[in-house]
Amino acid sequence: MQSDTLLISPDDLILITGAAGFIGSRLVENLLDGGYRNLRCFARPSSAGGRIEALSDLHRDRARIEVFKGNLLSPEDCAAATKDVAVIFHLAAARGEKSFPDAFMNSVVTTRNLLEASLLHGCLLRFVNVSSFVVYTNMQKPTWRLLDESCPIEKHPAQRGDAYCFAKVKQEEIVTEYGKKFGLPYVIVRPGYVYGPGNEGITGRVGIGTFGVFLHLGGSNRVPFTYVDNCADAIALAGLKQGVDGEVFNVVDDNLPSSRQFLRLYKRSVERFRSIYVPHALSYGLCYLWELYSKWSEGQLEPTFNRRIWHSYWKKSRYSNAKIKMRLGWMQKVATQDGFRRYFEACRRRVQSA
Amino acid sequence: MLKVAIVGCGKIADSHASQIQRVKGCEIVGVCDREPLMAKQLYERFPVKQYFSDLTTLLSEAKPHVVHVITPPESHFDIAKICLEWGCHVYVEKPFAISESQARRLIALANERGLKVTAGHDDQFSHVARRMRTLVQSGFLGGAPVHMESYYCYELGRSGYAGALLSDKNHWVRRLPGKLLHNIISHGVARIAEYMTSASPQVLAYGFVSPLLRGLGESEIIDELRVIISDEERTTAYFTFSSQMRPALHQFRVYGPKNGLVLNQDQETLIKLRGPRYKSYVEKFLPPAMLAGQCLENLGTNLRRFLVKDFHMKSGMKYLIESFYRSIVEQTPVPIPYREILLTAKIMDAIFAQLPMEGSQPQQRLTSAVNTLVV
């Protein structure tokens, strides 16, 4: 990156929330590799900070890495953590949380606390909000059409039946609101499915194992994978590049495999298991029936499967990373083939140790 | 139309809002949380008229007839008291209060004002719990219960709440006298309280931090508890709370002079235990066949209820809410007698009073507790 296009100097203070997490720890590494020498890593008191501490030891002579243990629900912790900070990379999220209030609290209330704290100090140059592809509605878009940053986001996120989607849509809303109301400079990054060692699960976009057998729902769909290092690189650029305030960037890798290709590779490289392919028309019909039943039965079954979630997860779509390449100069550093090789190795180790 | 308000918009608020909207003749006129964003998110997802971040504003503007208090337990007393003073009936989530003395004061205030209160012991109103109650009332046990066993377990590993609690030394659960136990065991204790007749049973409690939690550096969250309760030497009960035993049971067993009953809350099954024995080898063959028949009968009942959309996970809560509202509208008795609410609180007080302070040795504590009981 050319230094004249950068927002901050290497000595400016950067705050990373969720720094001990899957993407956060890679982002810290990425920033250190980029020459940034003043990092504050926000982590929960219970977070295993081994990776951050190892990085801190490794860069002891060249960088100052402060591990800030705290709770983003505490305005006092947020105020202390954001003091003198030039850029915030906000990655902490309530991923995997099934409860709407908990997901909301750990994504939206925490984000509001950080934004408020940033306003208090008045020194923030950019707030990078790490969101997700789940915010896109994909409802009105015809099959196979391109899903990019111009696509609409979910207007009724509560109806998706997915607490994470609800929380992420609301989180983006509050960031945008603070941007408009208080002129707070922000960028939103929406990664697709971030994979790599440390996240060895199979994305629900490929299929689900909820009912005792793996139902393969993706079929010939392209899956919007992004390897964790590539994603961290994109997030870093979104925080450091000048002139992109208020913009949204999708992050997906090139040469995306189809769901079927991925599953075949996974079975060949990691472990064999039985899966049943559910054609798109059938999965759509089943989701619709589930939705109707949930409504008729007054929630006897939660609307976990419904048409909105089908459109978001299992509708055939194409994805683009043209904007992030053009505006931020992002390039995929880890090739998709290499990414999958490392990921499958990690999956194999996990299976063997289980 | 009964006007209902919810105070506290955390995780359990979703269950309350979902079940309230299934009850006919009521509407949610307001929700309140001191964090306005939390109140707003609940308001946006359910048919709610207004949201508030201040309790008195909710009470003065929305004018509810009933308030559901579902905030962390340490605030139950103060909030319920304010609501009663404003003339509202109050449904308080479990634990009803953090001590028997607080529970007594709330009930006295409600009586004084001609209002009603109930505790969120909704497990006691699930289909299977109601079937058990009907059988006990019909004399199936052959008299008053001789002995009861209540298991209320909790899988720490499956809960995000546990993660938050263990990682946060300032978590509100840690401020409760009984900490984790205080927030969880009342369902299991209330089942015992229902069938105890004495107002002051003897309680012998033994609790400790599990090896798993100790290994994680935890020293103050007791997650293993065994209790013996004795009702003037007529009826006895064992209460077990465990985060480690598997399966993580939610069971209640009650044995009378003639027969017994086993309620499995997780599977919603009720098994009748026949007192008399058959002769010789018949005892080896006929009871197992009868047990298989009972299991099939339970399966049939559950399936039938599911098919007629009457098998919601929180069906007990809906029944309790409905019964409580009916008791208000029709001036009939409350679904949970105040005696049971007070006894539950009293047993819990007695349990927590015996639990170890940080650093003492479990065996010493047990010996000391046994000596106390013998003396």
At A299-314, the pLDDT tens digits run 999 999 999 999 999 9
CA-to-CA distance for B204 and A14, rounded, in angstroms?
A: 55
Q: Is the pTM of this model over 0.90?
A: yes
Show residues of chain A in contact with B45, CB under 8 Å.
Answer: 100, 158, 166
CA-to-CA distance for B360 and B184, rounded, in angstroms?
A: 24
Interface test with B, best of A73, A77, A98, A105 (most B CBs within 10 A): A105
Predicted confidence at residue A286, as pLDDT, reads 96
Task: Give the pair of three-digit tokens for residue B349.
Answer: 């007080």
DSSP code for B357: P
Are A205 and A218 contacting, i.e. CB atoms less than 8 angstroms apart? yes
CB contact under 8 A, B41 and A44: no
Sign of CA dihedral A234, A235, A236, A239: positive
B106 touches chain A (CB under 8 A): no
CA-to-CA distance for A136 and A151, rounded, in angstroms?
A: 7
Predicted confidence at residue B358, as pLDDT, reads 53
Architecture in CATH of B2-121: 3-Layer(aba) Sandwich (3.40)
Q: What is the mean pLDDT of chain B?
A: 92
B24 touches chain A (CB under 8 A): no
Show residues of chain B in contact with A71, CB under 8 Å.
Answer: 168
* 3-state percent breakdown (helix, strand, coil) of chain A, nearest 5: 45, 20, 40
CA-to-CA distance for B208 and B243, rounded, in angstroms?
A: 11
B218 touches chain A (CB under 8 A): no
* CA closest to B169 among chain A residues: A45
Rg, chain A, Cα only: 20
CA B308 to chain centre: 27
Are A232 and A29 contacting, i.e. CB atoms less than 8 angstroms apart? yes
CB nearest to A105's CB, from B18, B38, B44: B38
CA-to-CA distance for B273 and B250, rounded, in angstroms?
A: 18
* CA closest to A47 among chain B residues: B167
Among chain A, residues having any CB pair with chain B shorter than 8 Å are: 44-47, 71, 97, 99-102, 104-105, 108-109, 112, 158, 166, 170, 174, 296-300
Predicted confidence at residue B367, as pLDDT, reads 47
CA-to-CA distance for B253 and B161, rounded, in angstroms?
A: 28
Predicted confidence at residue B371, as pLDDT, reads 45
Alpha helices in chain B (DSSP H): 11-20, 36-45, 55-62, 76-85, 100-113, 127-137, 160-167, 179-184, 186-195, 211-215, 282-307, 315-329, 338-354, 362-374
CB contact under 8 A, B160 and A297: no
Q: Mean of the pLDDT values across residues A15-26?
A: 94
CB contact under 8 A, A46 and B167: yes
CA B9 to chain centre: 19
CA-to-CA distance for A152 and A160, rounded, in angstroms?
A: 15
How many other CB atoms are found less than 10 A from the CB of residue B267? 14
B304 touches chain A (CB under 8 A): no
Of the options 3.30.360.10, 3.40.50.11810, 3.30.2270.10, 2.40.160.40, the CATH number for the domain spanning B124-316+346-354: 3.30.360.10
Sign of CA dihedral B192, B198, B199, B203: negative
3-class DSSP state for residue B96? Answer: coil
Predicted confidence at residue B375, as pLDDT, reads 36
For residue A6, what are the β-bridge partners? A241
Q: Mean of the pLDDT values across residues B29-58?
A: 98
Task: Give the pair of three-digit tokens for residue A338.
Answer: 């290499």
CA-to-CA distance for A342 and A196, rounded, in angstroms?
A: 7
CB contact under 8 A, B44 and A108: no
CB nearest to B44's CB, from A97, A158, A296: A158
Predicted confidence at residue A61, as pLDDT, reads 83
pLDDT band at A59 (very low <50, low <70, confident <90, very high): confident
Predicted confidence at residue B334, as pLDDT, reads 98
How many other CB atoms are found less than 10 A from the CB of residue A62? 10
CB contact under 8 A, A101 and B9: yes
Instruction: Tell me how many residue pairs between chain A and chain B have CB atoms under 8 A apart.
Output: 58
Q: What is the number of residues in chain B?
A: 375
Interface test with B, best of A156, A297, A301, A302 (most B CBs within 10 A): A297
pLDDT band at B163 (very low <50, low <70, confident <90, very high): low
Predicted confidence at residue B78, as pLDDT, reads 98
Task: Give the pair of three-digit tokens for residue A350.
Answer: 């996990």
pLDDT higher than 50, residue B370: no
CA distance A102 to chain B (A): 6
Instruction: Find, among A138, A90, B99, the residue nearest to B107 by Cα.
Output: B99
Distances from the Cα of A258 to the Cα of A193, A195, A197, A220, A271, angstroms:
13, 15, 20, 5, 19
pLDDT band at B158 (very low <50, low <70, confident <90, very high): low
Predicted confidence at residue A97, as pLDDT, reads 80
Q: Which residues contact B163 (CB under 8 A, 6 or more apart)?
A: A46
pLDDT higher than 60, residue A55: yes
Are B31 and B59 contacting, i.e. CB atoms less than 8 angstroms apart? no
Residue pLDDT, tens place only, B96-153: 999 999 999 999 999 999 999 999 999 999 999 999 999 999 999 999 999 999 999 9
* CA closest to B309 among chain A residues: A297
Strand A248-251's sheet: what is its strand order? Answer: A64-69, A38-43, A13-17, A85-90, A126-130, A186-191, A248-251
Show residues of chain B in contact with A174, CB under 8 Å.
Answer: 37
Q: Domain map of chain B by residue range?
A: 2-121, 124-316+346-354
DSSP code for A153: B
Task: Give the pair of three-digit tokens for residue A246.
Answer: 């208020």
> Could you tell me what percent of chain B has a pLDDT over 70?
93
Task: Give the pair of three-digit tokens for residue A279.
Answer: 């054609």
Going by DSSP bridges, is the β-strand pair B66-69/B2-7 parallel, antiparallel, or unpaired? parallel
CB contact under 8 A, A300 and B37: no
Residue pLDDT, tens place only, A232-291: 999 999 999 999 999 999 999 999 999 999 999 999 999 999 999 999 999 999 999 999
CB contact under 8 A, B167 and A300: no
If residue A287 lies in a helix (H) or strand (E), which one and from where to where?
Answer: helix A280-296
B49 touches chain A (CB under 8 A): no
Show residues of chain A in contact with B168, CB under 8 Å.
Answer: 45-46, 71
B194 residue type, one letter: E
Residue pLDDT, tens place only, A198-220: 998 899 999 999 878 999 999 99
Q: What is the number of residues in chain A?
A: 354
Phi, psi of B269 (to 5 degrees): -125, 150
pLDDT higher than 60, residue A57: yes
CB contact under 8 A, A109 and B13: no
CA-to-CA distance for B41 and A99, rounded, in angstroms?
A: 12
Q: Mean of the pLDDT values across residues B170-184?
A: 89
